Amino acid sequence: MIATDKVTEIFCILDEFCKNLDAELAKNLHIAPIDEGYKRMRNRKGQMSKSEIMTILLCYHFGSFRNFKHYYLFFIKEHLASYFPKAVFYTRFVELMPRVFFDMMAFMRIQGFGKCTGISFVDSTMVPVCHNMRRKFNKVFDGLAKNGKGTMGWCHGFKLHLLCNEMGDVLTFCLTPANVDDRDPRVWRVFTKVLYGKVFADKGYIKQEFFENLFNQGIHLVHGLKSNMKNKLMPLWDKMMLRKQYIIECINELLKNKANLVHSRHRSVHNFLMNLCAALAAYCFFENKPEALPVRIEKSRQLELF
C-alpha cells in the first residue's frame, strides 16, 4: 500500500504545478468579450481541486489495488479521509475525471517526462480492451479498437508506442489502434519532435526506406538482424547498447502489472484515456525505474597486426 508521505509528496508537486499552470493561462488566455455576442461560460470553483483529483488518480496506479471503485471507497474515503476531507461520491468523481485531462497531459509533457540524451529505446505493447471472444460484442470502443497481432498473439484494442532514454525515463508516447504498424509515419512524426542521436529497437522496425528517412533527419536507428539477412559490421558499443533493450520492456511490464494499465472494465472512452494518462504520470514517480548500466570500452591495440 502506498505510504501517506508519498501521497503528500505527489500532491505538493501536482498542486504547485496546477497553480503555476493556472497563473500562466490566466495571464495569456484572451477571453472573448460579452458585448460582441459571445457567451461567457461559468467558471465556479469545484468542491475538489484539480490537484486532489490528479493525486487520487495517480496514487491508484502504485499497485496496491486492482479495482478503482474499491480503492476510492475504502482507501480514499476511509483511510485518507483526513487528507481529502472534501472527497465527493464515487459516481461524481468518475464524472470529474475527464476535467483534468489537459492538466495531466501538460504535467507529463512539461515536468513528468524525461529529456532525450542521444540514447533512446523504442518499443510498442498491446493494450487490449476486452477478451478476443468478446471483440464483436464490445460497444464502448466500437469503431475505435481494432484487431492486431503482437508477439503474444492477437488482441482487440490499441497499441501503445513508447520512447525512453537509458535512465528509464519516458520521453513521449503515441496511442494507435492495434493494427497500426510500428514504423507508421504518423507515430514517428510524434517521436521525431523530441528525438535525436541513436535509437535502439527490436527486429520489428527493420525497413530500408524507414532507416533512410530517419537517418536524413539526424536519427540513427540501430536494430538486430534477422536470420535471413546479410551480416553487417556494427560497432561494439552499439551491440552492447542493443542488449539494453530490456529497459523499455521492463517499463511495459511495470505499466501493465503494477500500474494497472490493462483491464476490461472501461465503460467510456474518456475514462480509458484518463486511466492511460494517469498510469504514465504515476510511472514518473516510481522509484524502481529500470536503468542501463554504464558501458565502458577500453581502447586496446591487442588485436592489431604488426
Position 293 scores a pLDDT of 62
Range of the domain at 157: 115-263
Residues 6+ apart with CB under 8 A from 166: 117, 119, 120, 121, 241, 244, 247, 291, 292
Please report whether residue 272 resides in a domain.
no
Closest among 1, 70, 96 to 263, alpha carbons compared: 70
Q: Is pLDDT at 38 greater than 70 in this prediction?
A: no
Dihedrals phi, psi of 113, to nearest 5 degrees: -75, 155
Q: Do 265 and 141 meet the contact criterion of CB atoms below 8 Å apart?
A: no
CA distances from 244 to 43, 113, 202, 298 (A): 49, 20, 11, 19
Residues 102 and 168 in one domain: no
Instruction: Give domain status of residue 306, yes or no.
Output: no
Per-residue cell: 198: 541513436
Question: Which of residues 213 and 236 earns the better pLDDT score?
Answer: 213
Domain count of the fold of the chain: 2
Mean pLDDT of all residues in the chain? 86
Same domain, 158 and 240: yes
Which of 109, 125, 147 lies at the terminal end of a domain, its last residue?
109
**What local confidence, expressed as pLDDT, does residue 306 receive?**
44
Residues 6 or more apart in contact with residue 33 via CB below 8 angstroms: none
254 and 124 in one domain? Answer: yes
* Percentage of the chain modeled with pLDDT above 90: 47
CATH number at residue 125: 3.30.420
Q: Please compute the mean of the pLDDT values over residues 271-285 and round it to a whole number.
A: 92
- Residue 195 domain-assigned? yes
Share of the chain above pLDDT 70, in %: 90
Confidence of residue 97 (pLDDT cuts 50, 70, 90): very high
C-alpha cell at 31: 477571453
Residues 50-90 have pLDDT tens digits of 999 999 999 999 977 888 999 999 999 999 999 999 999 99
Q: Is 252 a member of any domain?
A: yes
User: Are 134 and 247 contained in the same domain?
Assistant: yes
Domain-terminating residue out of 79, 109, 139:
109
Going from the C-alpha of 183 to that of each of 123, 160, 273, the distances in angstroms are: 11, 13, 23
* Residues 12 and 92 grouped into a single domain: yes
Q: Given 109, 131, 152, which residue is the final one in a domain?
A: 109
Each residue's pLDDT tens digit, 281-297:
999 999 888 876 665 54
> In this structure, are 225 and 132 located in the same domain?
yes
Residue 280 lies in a domain: no
Q: What are 219-229's pLDDT values in tens digits?
A: 999 988 777 77
Same domain, 122 and 102: no
Report yes or no on 10 lying in a domain. yes
Flag whether 285 is in a domain.
no
In a domain, 176, yes or no: yes
Residues 175-191, mean pLDDT to the nearest whole number: 92
Q: What SS3 class is residue 230? A: coil
One domain, residues 24 and 50: yes
Q: How confident is the model at residue 235 (pLDDT cuts 50, 70, 90)?
A: confident
CB 171 within 8 A of CB 116: yes
Is the same domain home to 129 and 209?
A: yes
Cβ contact 82:7 at 8 Å: no
Q: What pTM was estimated for this model as a whole?
A: 0.86
**Average pLDDT over every residue of 186-212:** 90
Same domain, 233 and 248: yes
Q: What is the pLDDT of residue 51?
A: 93
Q: Are residues 22 and 76 located together in one domain of the fold? A: yes
Task: Give the mean pLDDT of 258-272.
Answer: 87
Whole-number pLDDT of residue 304: 46
Alpha carbons 202 and 150: distance in angstroms, whole number: 13
The answer on 96 and 143 residing in a single domain is no
pLDDT digit string (tens) for 112-151?
999 998 899 999 999 999 888 888 888 888 888 899 887 7
